[in-house]
Chains A and B, each alone.
Chain A
Amino acid sequence: MGIIFLLIGASTVVAVIFLTAFVWAMRSGQYDDDRSPAVRILGDQRPDQSKTTNIPKTS
C-alpha cells in the first residue's frame, strides 16, 4: 500500500503548511484580541444602508 505514503505525504504537507500558518498567526498577534474582529466586520455598513433592506429591524 505504498500509495498510502503518497496520500499521507500530500496530506502532511498541507497539514504542516497550516501548522506554520497557525504559528505565524499566533506570533503575529492575530489572536491577541478575540472579541473585536467579530464586531469590526459589522462596522462597514453605511448609515444609509437601511434603504437597501425592507426587512423591519426590531432592535
Chain B
Amino acid sequence: MMERFQYDNKIVNAFLMATIVFGIVGMLVGLIAALQMIIPWMNAAEWFTFGRIRPLHTNAVIFAFVGNGIFAGVYYSLQRLLKARMFSDGLSWLHFWGWQLIIVAAAITLPLGITSGKEYAELEWPIDIAITLVWVVFGINMFGTILKRRERHLYVAIWFYIATWVTVAMLHIVNSMAMPVGLFKSYSMYAGVQDALVQWWYGHNAVAFFLTTPYLGLMYYFLPKAANRPVYSYKLSIIHFWALIFIYIWAGPHHLLYSSLPEWTQSLGIVFSIMLIAPSWGGMLNGLLTLRGAWDRVREDPVLKFMVVAVTAYGMVTLEGPLLSTKLLNSISHFTDWTIAHVHVGGLGWNGFLTFGIIYWMLPRLFGTKLYSVKLANAHFWIGTLGIVFYAIPLYFAGFTQSLMWKQFTPDGYLVYKNFLDTLLQIKYAYWLRALGGTLYLGGALIMVYNVWMTVRAGKLVSNEDAEAPAMETETGVATGGSHWHRWIERRPIQMLVASFVLVVIGGAIEMVPTFLIESNVPTISSVKPYTPLELQGRDIYIREGCYVCHSQMIRPFRSETVRYGEYSKAGEFIYDHPFQWGSKRTGPDLAREGGKRSDAWHYYHMYDPTSTSDGSLMPPYTHMYDNDLDIASTPAKIRAMMKLGVPYSEGFDERSIEDARAQAQGIVDRMREASNGEINANTDKEIIALIAYLQRLGTDISGGSVAEGEVE
C-alpha cells in the first residue's frame, strides 16, 4: 500500500551545478561582449570578435544557464509533485551529458564562426539534430515519470513543463530546417521574408516557451514552497496557463514591424501581443499575492526577495513587450539598445533572479544542511539588483536618444547626424555604465558561487532522498465523481506523448513543404538576380563573422531611414537570401543599400582598420580576412545547395562557379589597384575580396529597375 521510493537528487544537483558554472561563463562572455563594444582592441583574435562572441553569450545564457536551470528545477519539482522517482536514471544522465555536450559544441563552433546566421538559432545542423534527440530523451523521461506517478492530480507547474516540451520541440524543428553543405555549413530552407517570418515566429516563441513557460512552472512550484503558503489562487493559475498557451503561440510577427512583412501579419502580431498582457499579469499577480501576509518573511528571506524581484520583472517585461510591439513605440525602439535593455530586464530579472532564488532554496535541501550565509545571499541580492538597474536604465536612455538622433532633421530637411557614427559615440557612456551593471551582476553571482561552495562543503549530498507515498488508487469510488474517469487520467499522459510524436512527425512532413512553397511564392522583381559565386562566398563570410549582430539589412519606410540609407527594402529583394540577414540591432549603420555607396578601396582599408576610415569607430578590425585564403573549392557545392533550394542558377553553373568567382575577384583587385594608383596590391584569393564583392552587391539590384506597387506581396 504505502510504497517506499527515493527521489533522485544526484541528477538535480548535477543540473544545478551546471547551471551555476554556465551561468558564470555566460555572464562573463556577456561582460566581455559589452566591453568589446567600447574597447575595440578587446576583439583580440579572429575567434573572439564581437560578431562571434555575442552569439556565444546569448547561447550560453539561454541554453546553458537557463536551460540547465529549467532542468534542475523540473527534475526536482516533477519528482516531488508526482511522488515518483524520474522514469529512468539512464535517460536522466543521457539527458544531462547530452545537453552539456551540446553546450560545449556550441562553445567551440561559435567562436570558429560556424553558424547558421539565424539569431538564437545559430548552431549548425549537426548540433540541431543533437538538440532534437536530447529533447526527445527529456520528453520520454518526463512523460514516463508522469505515467508512473503516485499523485493523480497534475499540478499546474507540470502543465507548464509539458507545454514547454511540446512547443519547443515543434519550434526547433520548424525553424532549423536547412540544406546542409558539408558538416559545418548549411543554408536555411526558407528565404528572405519567409525566413524572417519563421525565424521571428521561432524567436518570439523561444522567449515564450523557453524563457517564460518553464519558469512560470518553476514559479508556481518554488514560490509557494519558499513562502510556505499555497499559491494565491489555484483557479487563476489554471486559467493563466490555458489562456497563455492559446495566445502565446500566435504573437510572433510583432518582431518584424515595418519590415517587408504584409501589413496584416504585423497588425496581427500587435493584437495578440496586447492580448497577452492579461494572462501574463494574471500570473504575476498570482505570484505576488501568494506572498500576501508573508511580507515580513520576504524581508528576512533572500530566496523570497529574489523571487519577488523576478516576478516583478516578469510583470514589467510582459507589459513593456506588448507596448513595444505597438507601431508607435516600435518605430522608436526597434534596432536600438532599448530592445537590449528590455530583454535584459527579462533575462537578468526574471530568469536570473528566479534561478538564483531556486538555487538558494534547493541547495540546502539537497545537501541536508543550512545555507552557509544568509548575509552573503542578501548581499548577492542587493548587488544583483543594483546591477540590473545600472544595466537597464542607461540603455533605455541610450536607445531613446539614439533613435531620436537618427530621426532628427534640420529645418531645411537634412539629417542632423548624417554620420551614423556620431549617434553611436553619443551613447558610448551608456555602454560603459552597462558594462558596470554587468560587472555588478556577475560579482553578485560570484558571491553566490562562494556561498554555494561553502554550503556544499558543510553538507553532504543526499543523492537519494527517501520518500514514501501510497500507490495511486485505481479504484476511486464516487468521491472523485464521473464514471471511469480515472482511466482517462491514466491514459492522458500517453495521449499527450502520442500527440507530441504525431507533432514531431508532422514537423518532419512539413520539411518538404517549404521547397515547393518557395516556387509558388517568388515575388516578382524582374531585376533581382541570384548572387554571383564570389558574392555568395562573401555573404557566407558576412554570416560567419556575425555582421548581422551590429548591422541591419532592412530599411524601414520612414523618411529618416530612406534619406539616410536610400529606397526602403522590398520583400522581393530577399528571395535569394538563405538565411535572411535583416538583423535586429544597429550598432553600426544599415547595409541594405551599401552596394556602390563607397569604393572597393574604402572597404579594403575600413575592414583592415575601421578607425582609418571612420575616426573613433567601435567596429573591430578584421585583419584575418587579409591573411586567410578564401575556401573557393566549396563554391560548387554551395551553388548546388542553393539550386536545390530553388535559386535559379543555370544548369551546370556549379562547375563554372569557381572560374566565375576568380574572374570577379580579379576585377575587384584590379579596380582597387587603379583607384589607389597601385598602392593597394591585394591578393585575389583572400577572403576580404569576397566580402567586398558581397558588400558592393547589397541592395543594388533594384536601383536600376524601378519597383512598382503590388510587386511587393
Question: What residues of chain A have their CB less than 8 Å away from a CB belonging to chain B?
Answer: 1-4, 6-7, 9-11, 13-15, 17-18, 20-22, 24-25, 27-35, 37-42, 44-45, 49, 51-58
Q: Is the CB of A30 within 8 A of B153?
A: yes
Q: Is the CB of B228 within 8 A of A3?
A: no
Question: What residues of chain B have their CB less than 8 Å away from a CB belonging to chain A?
Answer: 80-81, 83, 151, 153-156, 159, 162-163, 166-167, 170, 174, 190, 193-194, 197-198, 201, 221, 224-225, 228-231, 234-235, 237-238, 242, 245-246, 249-250, 252, 262, 265, 296-297, 300-303, 364-365, 368-371, 374, 467, 480-482, 485-486, 488-489, 492, 495-496, 499-500, 502-503, 506-507, 510, 513-514, 517, 520-521, 713
Determine how close the nearest CB of chain B comes to the CB of A25; give it in whole angstroms.
Answer: 7
Determine how close the nearest CB of chain A comes to the CB of B447; give it in whole angstroms.
Answer: 17
- A-chain residues with CB within 8 Å of residue B517 when the two chains form the complex: 2-3, 6
Q: Is the CB of A42 within 8 A of B170?
A: no
If A28-B485, A34-B235 are given as contacts, then 8 extra A-B residue pairs at C-beta distance below 8 Å, sorted by A number, are: A6-B198, A9-B510, A22-B242, A33-B153, A37-B156, A38-B231, A54-B370, A58-B297
- A-chain residues with CB within 8 Å of residue B520 when the two chains form the complex: 2
Q: Is the CB of A44 within 8 A of B228?
A: no
Determine how close the nearest CB of chain B comes to the CB of A1; give it in whole angstroms.
Answer: 6
Q: Given A3-B517, A4-B197, is A14 in contact with B170 using a C-beta cutoff of 8 Å?
A: yes
Pick from B230, B365, B521: contact of A38, CB under 8 Å: B230
Q: Given A13-B170, A38-B234, is A44 in contact with B153 using a C-beta cutoff of 8 Å?
A: no
- B-chain residues with CB within 8 Å of residue A56 when the two chains form the complex: 300
Q: Specify the main secondary structure of chain A where it touches its partner.
A: helix
Q: Is the CB of B230 within 8 A of A17?
A: no
Q: Is the CB of B365 within 8 A of A52?
A: yes
Determine how close the nearest CB of chain A comes to the CB of B4; give it in whole angstroms.
Answer: 14
- Of all chain A residues, which has the CB nearest B221? A41
Q: Is the CB of A42 within 8 A of B374?
A: no
- Of all chain A residues, which has the CB nearest B177? A6
A-B contact pairs, 20 of them (CB 8 A): A2-B517, A3-B517, A6-B513, A7-B198, A11-B201, A13-B503, A17-B166, A21-B499, A28-B485, A28-B489, A29-B482, A31-B238, A40-B151, A41-B80, A41-B155, A42-B224, A52-B370, A53-B364, A55-B301, A57-B297
Pick from B159, B224, B235, B503: contact of A17, CB under 8 Å: B503
CA separation between A46 and B196, bound complex, in Å?
Answer: 52
CA separation between A21 and B156, bound complex, in Å?
Answer: 13
Q: Is the CB of A44 within 8 A of B467?
A: yes
CA separation between A58 and B369, bound complex, in Å?
Answer: 20
- B-chain residues with CB within 8 Å of residue A10 when the two chains form the complex: 170, 174, 506-507, 510
Q: Given A39-B230, A58-B297, is A28 in contact with B194 using a C-beta cutoff of 8 Å?
A: no
Determine how close the nearest CB of chain A comes to the CB of B259; give it in whole angstroms.
Answer: 13
- B-chain residues with CB within 8 Å of residue A21 when the two chains form the complex: 159, 162, 492, 495-496, 499
CA separation between A18 and B496, bound complex, in Å?
Answer: 9
Q: Is the CB of A6 within 8 A of B514?
A: yes
CA separation between A20 and B491, bound complex, in Å?
Answer: 13
Q: Is the CB of B492 within 8 A of A25?
A: yes
- Of all chain A residues, which has the CB nearest B83? A44
Q: Is the CB of B369 within 8 A of A52?
A: yes
- A-chain residues with CB within 8 Å of residue B153 when the two chains form the complex: 30, 33, 37, 40
Determine how close the nearest CB of chain A comes to the CB of B366; give it in whole angstroms.
Answer: 9
CA separation between A25 and B154, bound complex, in Å?
Answer: 9
Q: Given A20-B495, A27-B488, is A3 in contact with B467 using a C-beta cutoff of 8 Å?
A: no
Q: Is the CB of B485 within 8 A of A27?
A: yes
Q: Is the CB of A55 within 8 A of B368?
A: no
Determine how close the nearest CB of chain B comes to the CB of A7; give it in whole angstroms.
Answer: 5
Q: Is the CB of A41 within 8 A of B81?
A: yes
- Of all chain A residues, which has the CB nearest B366? A52
Q: Is the CB of B514 within 8 A of A3?
A: yes
- Of all chain B residues, which has the CB nearest A27? B488
Determine how close the nearest CB of chain A comes to the CB of B149; give it in whole angstroms.
Answer: 13
Pick from B368, B496, B502, B507: contact of A52, CB under 8 Å: B368
CA separation between A6 and B520, bound complex, in Å?
Answer: 13
- B-chain residues with CB within 8 Å of residue A4 when the two chains form the complex: 197, 265
Q: Is the CB of B234 within 8 A of A58?
A: no
- A-chain residues with CB within 8 Å of residue B374 when the two chains form the complex: 54-55
CA separation between A15 and B713, bound complex, in Å?
Answer: 28
Determine how close the nearest CB of chain A comes to the CB of B254; give it in whole angstroms.
Answer: 14
Determine how close the nearest CB of chain B comes to the CB of A58; give it in whole angstroms.
Answer: 5
Determine how close the nearest CB of chain B comes to the CB of A14; give it in whole angstroms.
Answer: 6
Q: Is the CB of A6 within 8 A of B296?
A: no
Q: Given A3-B198, A42-B230, is A17 in contact with B499 using a C-beta cutoff of 8 Å?
A: yes
Give the most central of B153, B368, B496: most A CB within 10 Å: B153
CA separation between A31 and B481, bound complex, in Å?
Answer: 12
- Of all chain A residues, which has the CB nearest B245? A18
- A-chain residues with CB within 8 Å of residue B503 when the two chains form the complex: 13-14, 17
Determine how close the nearest CB of chain A comes to the CB of B192; give it in whole angstroms.
Answer: 10
